[in-house]
A and B are shown apart, each in its own frame.
Chain A
Amino acid sequence: MSFIIGCDPELLCRRDGRYVPAHNYFKSNSSFGLDGCESIAECRPGYSESPIDPTAKLKAVIEYGHDKAPDLEFHAGHYVDDHPIGGHLHFSVQPEPDIVDALDIVLYSLSNCIDNKEQRQRRERSGYGKRKATRRKSYGFEYRTPGSWLLSPSTTLVTFTLAKLAILGVTEDQVDFEEVKGRQHSSTFLKNLKNSLVTIPDDCREGLKELDLLLTKKLDWNQNMLPNWGIGLN
């Protein structure tokens, strides 16, 4: 079974270390646009079957945002400068309960390992990031739980990869992720995940390799993400 992955992750803009509203710099309905309240920027990179391609598309879109407003820093995470920021994922499949459960178990485990928990809690308390939150769309559905994973191409690629594998695990291999996870720590569960999957497409192998390394890192979410994407270095 093949399906398309898309997304509209948000990012917060700072200038000289201070929050600035994104609508001062960008227009709302563009691939580097604004979220509903227009204070946060939102990327709409397009879509693809492969986890690598939307990551590359996001680089092109973020690069455009930087070219348009080179003085700005961009920040990812769950809750920055009193603003909740999300990393919604889009899938061209129907939100069947077992698919949503699989995404919840796999991606919330990733969040447990790499996200800033204080930020995540503040976002949840502001009314966003509820577990298993979905919205039906004409193409399939939007998964609304994750915070913005745009910190680096690697956090982005691993998120797409795990999302794809969670859905394929259900639709192709009938994996019961709740049973596989059991009482394992999130990190142990993710390290062993590949052993529970039969269907691992070639375009997911890079993300799985990087997952192993990512799980060993302690991430600093309070940083300008642009250098991590190789943008604005010169």
Chain B
Amino acid sequence: MEKTYCVSCNDVIRDSEIRWAFDDPYCESCFEEGYVYCSRCDGIVGRGDAHTDSNGDYYCSDCWDEQFDDDCPNNPHVSSADRTLIIELSRNWLLGKRTNRSLLKINKNDSMLPKIRDKIGLVEQPIYLFGLKDREEYDLSVSSNLIGSIKEFLLLNGLEWKVTEGVGCNRLGISLSLRQNNFSEVFKLVKYTTQLRIKEIAA
């Protein structure tokens, strides 16, 4: 009679103890080590490919994609600027007033941008900040309505950063090297731009 070998450890497995995964025979311990069952569809998933939720339940990729939205903020960080905004919103709602200030919009996947957002605090006309990869051609990507104030700031501060005109409105993209090495100047640039925006609107 033909013997069955575990495809992982090569041990001989008795027929009653074979565990199958994708047509391959495994011994009990190798199967447990290599595979889990999806807690939703009960399909077999390689342990390395399985997604795990906060309860420790496993999911195959299809079920995970159907059930979980990985972009949703998970226990989001709250800064002092967030607290200031929520209190302002609360009080204004009670008083029947509209809140005109908000925080800068940022791409939250970047580690430096939240620091700039929190330090700038509440502004009346928020701009959108996003991170850029380092490129030879430019350091800043700026929407056309902001480009004048950005170039003015660079000139006044003797900064030779390369600027390109980007799409949309109220958008400022900042290269990785500037975010990492020039935080103070980048902060001042954003503050300057935001204040100018307020003055423009007031005028």
Give min CB distance, A226 to chain B, whole Å: 12
Docked-complex contact A31 and B74, CB < 8 angstroms:
yes
Docked-complex contact A61 and B76, CB < 8 angstroms:
yes
A27 at the interface (CB under 8 A from B): yes
Nearest-neighbor residue (CB-CB) of B71 within chain A: A64
Count of interface residues, chain A, beta-carbon cutoff 8 Å: 35
A193 at the interface (CB under 8 A from B): no
The residues of B that contact A228 with a CB separation of less than 8 Å are: 89, 93
The residues of A that contact B164 with a CB separation of less than 8 Å are: none
- On B, residues with C-beta under 8 Å from A are 53, 66-69, 71-76, 78, 82-83, 85-87, 89-91, 93-95, 98-99, 102
A-B CB contact pairs (8 Å), 20 listed: A28-B67, A29-B53, A29-B68, A31-B72, A32-B69, A33-B69, A33-B72, A45-B75, A48-B78, A53-B78, A57-B76, A59-B85, A59-B89, A61-B76, A152-B89, A153-B86, A154-B90, A214-B94, A228-B89, A230-B102
**A29-B67, A52-B86 are known contacts. Are A153 and B72 too (CB-CB below 8 A)?**
no
The residues of A that contact B94 with a CB separation of less than 8 Å are: 154, 210, 213-214, 217
Contact of A57 among B69, B78, B89, B95 (CB under 8 A): B78
Nearest-neighbor residue (CB-CB) of A61 within chain B: B73
**A53-B78, A64-B72, A64-B73 are known contacts. Are A59 and B90 too (CB-CB below 8 A)?**
no
A to B contact number (C-beta, < 8 Å): 89
A30 at the interface (CB under 8 A from B): yes
A233 at the interface (CB under 8 A from B): yes
Docked-complex contact A32 and B72, CB < 8 angstroms:
yes
Give min CB distance, A4 to chain B, whole Å: 11
Nearest-neighbor residue (CB-CB) of A48 within chain B: B78
Contact of B66 among A27, A45, A57, A152 (CB under 8 A): A27
Nearest-neighbor residue (CB-CB) of B73 within chain A: A60
- On A, residues with C-beta under 8 Å from B are 26-33, 45-48, 52-53, 55-57, 59-61, 64, 68, 152-154, 157, 206, 210, 213-214, 217, 228-230, 233
The residues of A that contact B87 with a CB separation of less than 8 Å are: 52, 206
Alpha-carbon distance between A60 and B86 when the two chains are bound, in angstroms: 10
**A56-B86, A157-B86 are known contacts. Are A26 and B93 too (CB-CB below 8 A)?**
no
Docked-complex contact B93 and A55, CB < 8 angstroms:
no
Alpha-carbon distance between A8 and B96 when the two chains are bound, in angstroms: 27
The residues of B that contact A59 with a CB separation of less than 8 Å are: 82, 85-86, 89
Docked-complex contact B82 and A56, CB < 8 angstroms:
yes
**A31-B72, A57-B76 are known contacts. Are A157 and B67 too (CB-CB below 8 A)?**
no
Docked-complex contact B72 and A30, CB < 8 angstroms:
yes
Nearest-neighbor residue (CB-CB) of B68 within chain A: A29
Nearest-neighbor residue (CB-CB) of B87 within chain A: A206
